[in-house]
Each structure stands twice: as C-alpha cells, then as structure tokens.
Amino acid sequence: MARIFVGAAAALVTIMVGGWAVATTGEPDRTAQLAEYRRPNAIPFPEDNPYAAQKAELGRALFFEPILSRDGDRTCATCHVPGQDWTDSTPLAPRNDGGFMDVRTPTLLNIAWIEDILGWDGKFRGLEAVARTPLTAPGNMNMPPEEMVRRLSADPAYVEAFAGAFPEPVAGGNPITQERIEQALATFQRLIVSGEAPFDRWVEGDARAVSGAARRGFDLFHGKANCAACHSGWNFTDGSFHDIGVAKDGNVGRGRFFPGSTALRFAFKTPTLRNVARRPPYMHDGSLATLAEVVELYDRGGIDRPSRSRDIRPLRLSEREKADLIAFLETLSDAGSAEAATLPITATPPRP
Ligand code: HEC
Ligand code: HEC
C-alpha cells in the first residue's frame, strides 16, 4: 500500500545529536546505534484513507460503541483497553461464550507503522481490513455487516457524523457504509502512538535519562543478546515473523499460510517493545508472565527445532546481564496516560 508521511517530509530522516558523551565519560560511543531509534514526528497515513479530524473522531466513537456488538456487550476497547496500553491483561483474549481465543490481544500502540501485514500470524492485509474480523466473528462481536449499518443509520447523530467525515456523496444517499466504518476505525487507531519514554530522552542526548544498568542493557540488546536483529527501529519491530522457540501447542503461526516453509512454522509477528514492561503477559499465547521469564527464554534459546530463527541461540547471560537487559526494557515506557498516548504526535492533513 502506498504511504505518505503526513506533516514534515523529513519526518523519518535521522539527525544525529551529540551531548551524552559528556555525562557518560568512559562509556562506549553509542551515537550511531541510538540514532537508529529516533522517534518520527509524524504519523503515516495511506493515500487511500488520508487523515481527517472528523473521520478520526468518528472512528474514536465507533471504537467505544457497544451497539457494534450484537448483544451490545462488547466494543473494541473490551480487549484493546486504553488504560492498559491498548491490550488487556489476560493471556488469551476472551470469547463471548466464556471461553478463550487461541491468541493474546496485541497492543494497538504505534499500529500506524505496522501497516501492511497484521495479526500474530499475518492473517490481516492492511489496518482497514482488520476490523471486519472482530466485528463479525461469532465468538467476538458477532455482528452481521448489514445489521451494523442498519443500527448506525437509525441514529441521526451517526448519519451526520459520517456525512461530515466522508463528504463525497454515495449512491443511495446513506453516508454509512461498512467500508467507511472500517476507514474511520483505522484513522482513529493510527493516532494511538506511544508517548516519549526515558529512552527517547537518551536518544535525544540526555544520557542521565536512563540508569547505567539500562545503558549496559542497551549494549546487550544491540550486541551480545542480539535482540535488535528483530526488535529494530524506534518501534522495536522489523514487522516480520520468526520462530523464537516459544510455541509448543498446535498453533504454527505464519506457517499456516506457508505449509511448505520450515522457517515460517511457529513464526509469529515481532511485537513492538514500547511500554512493554507495563503490559504482561507476553508472547502470542500469553505464556510468559514477566519480563524475567522472557529473558530466561531468550537465554535458553527457546525450543531448538528446524524452524527456529538463526538469530536465536543460547546466550549464557550472567545474572547481572539479565538484570541490565530488563532495566533497559523498562526505559521504553512512557508516562502512561491513555488519553495523552493517543495524540502525542501531531497529525496534520496532507497538503492539497
Ligand atoms: C475479544 C477481544 C477483542 C476485541 C473485542 C477486538 N480485538 Fe482486536 N485483536 C484481538 C486479538 C486476539 C487479536 C489478534 C488476532 C490474531 O492475530 O489472530 C487482535 C488483533 C487486532 C489488530 C491487529 C494488531 C496487530 O498488531 O497486528 C487490530 C488492528 C485490532 N485487533 C483492532 C480491533 C478493532 C478495531 C476492534 C473493534 C472493531 C477489535 N480489534 C476488537 C482481540 C480483540
Ligand atoms: C529472531 C527475532 C527475534 C529476536 C532475535 C528477539 N526477539 Fe523478541 N520477539 C520476537 C518475536 C517473533 C516475538 C513474539 C513471539 C511470540 O509471540 O510467540 C517476540 C517477543 C518478545 C517479547 C514479548 C513482547 C510481547 O508484547 O509479548 C519481548 C519482551 C521480547 N521479545 C524481547 C526480546 C529481547 C530482550 C531479545 C534479546 C534477548 C529479543 N526479544 C530477541 C522476535 C525476536
């Protein structure tokens, strides 16, 4: 999908800033590595669903709208909880019949940067296309699309909101369509961006923003522990799929769609590490309860099998190194206000 970066065209150009060498005399020069993590200052929006304030506001209303579930008992926020970093705290997402799905609810933080292939196993094509699944799935919101359009159309406030958000006239005259519901939801979700964390202040030149342990943890992350091989860039993900040796149940992840591929068997999407310390449990199956357990898994090298990524191997970290790695991960959390987290980066409409 073609993408445009709204706002400054130079948004993603990294600029090096000096300064922390002063506060960290005797430590390695990390200028080049840190520059790889500089925050962008604009949110990317696709050309076929550009940003508009009214559309985003409509999407916000729909995200929290219970009438979009057949029984009126669920919204997107039932599982993607704003105050819990847009995920929930359960290992597996709750079905509407008291049971559980086979995967955990992923966070929606920085979803605008994970545009093309979404879902733990990559089952979704583009952010607009995702909503249809939770909305219609019988075990989730269980809403037939026609019924959804009918319910919204019965509310004059929604008719007006859709007409304002999508000014182009439609055949038949009803401004509410399933496609527009999906576009509005996606526009709102692209505004869900993690706020500035202590790590970002370090990247901007203030070495005192993080502890010495965290700075050593960063060196491990980038060096001996090899985490940056997959958790790369400011959002700490390569947007790709790997077997890190975690899944032991029947879920083969991305391998479902590529049965002939060894590398994609048990491969799941690399999650962002933004705010990660605050949103346990971890992994696609919620199988690890703490960051300490995550670090132990990587230290062991996970399950050794043909599909396991070549970037995963036993690390043999010392106890101090494990603690340093966790100290580093903790510096990736923002101040934690759900409201602030939705709009820390200015989205401006594209120039005509
Ligand atoms: C029952 C809890 C639940 C509800 C309600 C729910 N989701 Fe999700 N959401 C999930 C789970 C679980 C996944 C992962 C699915 C997968 O990968 O197979 C997911 C995945 C996603 C993703 C992809 C994230 C990524 O990183 O790839 C997006 C976007 C999303 N949901 C948006 C929504 C929207 C919009 C709604 C409301 C229309 C919604 N969700 C309702 C549980 C839920
Ligand atoms: C080969 C690529 C790769 C490497 C190297 C890697 N990771 Fe991961 N990481 C992933 C994938 C893929 C997942 C999701 C796996 C799953 O859900 O089954 C993940 C999950 C995580 C999670 C859980 C996040 C969440 O929201 O559930 C944390 C924390 C994490 N990794 C930290 C690290 C650290 C620390 C290192 C270095 C010791 C590291 N990773 C090395 C690919 C990688």
Average pLDDT over residues 83-111: 95
- The pLDDT of residue 8 is 32
Answer yes or no: is pLDDT of 40 > 70. Answer: yes
Compute the distance from residue 228 Cα to the ligand 2 centre, in Å.
10
| pLDDT at position 75 | 97
Q: Which residues of 92-130 are buried (b: 16+ CB within 10 A; e: fewer)?
A: bbbebeeeeeebbbbbbbbbbbbbebbbbbbebebbbeb
Indicate the range of 14-18, 101-105, 143-147 predicted with least confidence.
Answer: 14-18
Ligand minimally distant from the alpha carbon of residue 229: 2
Q: What is the pLDDT of residue 68?
A: 98
Residue 89: per-residue pLDDT: 94
Please determine, for residue 15, whether its predicted confidence score (pLDDT) is greater than 70.
no
Atom of ligand 2 nearest to the CA of 284: 17
Q: Give per-residue pLDDT as tens, 244-266.
A: 999 777 899 999 999 999 999 99
- The whole-number pLDDT of residue 340 equals 41
pLDDT at site 309: 96
Measured in Å, residue 106 CA sits from the centre of ligand 1 at 7
Closest Cα to atom 6 of ligand 2: 227
Q: Which atom of ligand 1 is nearest to the CA of 68?
A: 38
Distance from the alpha carbon of residue 131 to the mean position of ligand 1, in angstroms: 7
- pLDDT of amino acid 352: 36
Which pLDDT belongs to residue 348?
46
Which residues, 6+ apart, have CB-to-CB distance to 314 below 8 Å? 299, 300, 301
154 Cα: distance to centroid of ligand 1 (angstroms): 26
Residues 155-166 pLDDT 10s: 999 999 999 999
- Per-residue pLDDT, averaged over 38-60, amounts to 92
Q: Which atom of ligand 2 is nearest to the CA of 282?
A: 27
Nearest CA to ligand 1 atom 39: 76
Shortest-distance ligand to the CA of residue 226: 2
The predicted structure's pLDDT at residue 307? 95
Mean predicted confidence (pLDDT) in 306-322: 97
Show the tokens assigned to 37: 């993590």
Q: If you average pLDDT over residues 187-211, what whole number do you get?
A: 94
**What tens digit of pLDDT does each residue of 330-341 get?**
999 998 765 544
**Mean local confidence (pLDDT), 224-232:** 98
Q: What is the pLDDT of residue 23?
A: 47
Q: What is the pLDDT of residues 168-195, one digit of tens each?
A: 988 888 999 999 999 999 999 999 999 9
Predicted TM-score (pTM) of this structure:
0.92
pLDDT at 344 over 60: no
- For the CA of 86, the nearest ligand: 1
Strand partners, 117: 125
Work out the pLDDT band at 147, boundaries 50, 70, 90.
very high
| Domains observed in the chain | 11-38+197-338 (1.10.760.10), 52-189 (1.10.760.10)
Residue ranges around ligand 1 (CB below 6 Å): 74, 76, 78-80, 93-94, 101, 103, 105-106, 108, 111, 114, 118-121, 123, 127, 130-131, 134-135, 140-141, 185, 189
* 271: phi then psi, degrees, rounded to nearest 5: -80, 155
| Residue 350: per-residue pLDDT | 43
Kindly state if the Cβ of 282 falls inside 6 Å of ligand 2: yes
